[in-house]
Structure 1
Amino acid sequence: MQGLDDANVHALRLKYRQDKVKARRKRADESAALDRQIAELQQRLVEMRRRRVGLLSWQDVSVALRDELIQVSFENTSLSRQVNKQRAVAEALGRWVRRVAQEPVATISLGSNNTWQHSTLLLASDTTSRVLAMQWILQQMHVHTDRALALSPTPHLHEPAAGAWTEDVRAVVAADQDDAMAIHYRTHGTLVLPCGLQAASDFLWFDNPNLLPTCDKMYVDDNVMYVREGASKGAIRLVGHILYGRQLDADRAVHVSRSIVCDEQHPLEETEWTVPTLDWFVLERINDHQTRLRYVTQGHPPSHPDRGLAPFTHFNLDRSERGHLTRMVHMIEFYHRGFHDRLQELCRVARKGTVSVWHVQ
Structure 2
Amino acid sequence: MRFIADLVHEKKQLVEKAEAILQEAEKAGGSLTKEQERQFNRYTDKIKSINESIDEELLNIRTSEPILITPQKAVSPIEETKTPVTKAISKSFRGMFYGNETVSLSNNGFYSMDEFLRTLHSGRADNRLINASMVEGIPEFGGYSVPEEYGAFLMDKSLENEIIRPRATVWAMGSETKKVPAFDGADRTNHLFGGISGEWLEEGQTGTRKTAKLRLIQLKAKKLACFSQASNELIADGMSFEEMLAGALIKGLGWYMDYAFINGTSEGQPLGIINDPALITVNKEDSQAAATITYQNVVNMFSRLAPSCFTNAVWLANPSVIPQLLTMTITIGTGGAQIPVFREESG
Higher relative contact order (CA 8 A, sep 6+): 1
TM-score range, shorter chain: under 0.3
Instruction: Specify which structure has the higher proportion of strand.
Output: 1
Select the structure of larger CA radius of gyration.
1
Taking structure 2 as the reference length, the TM-score comes to 0.24
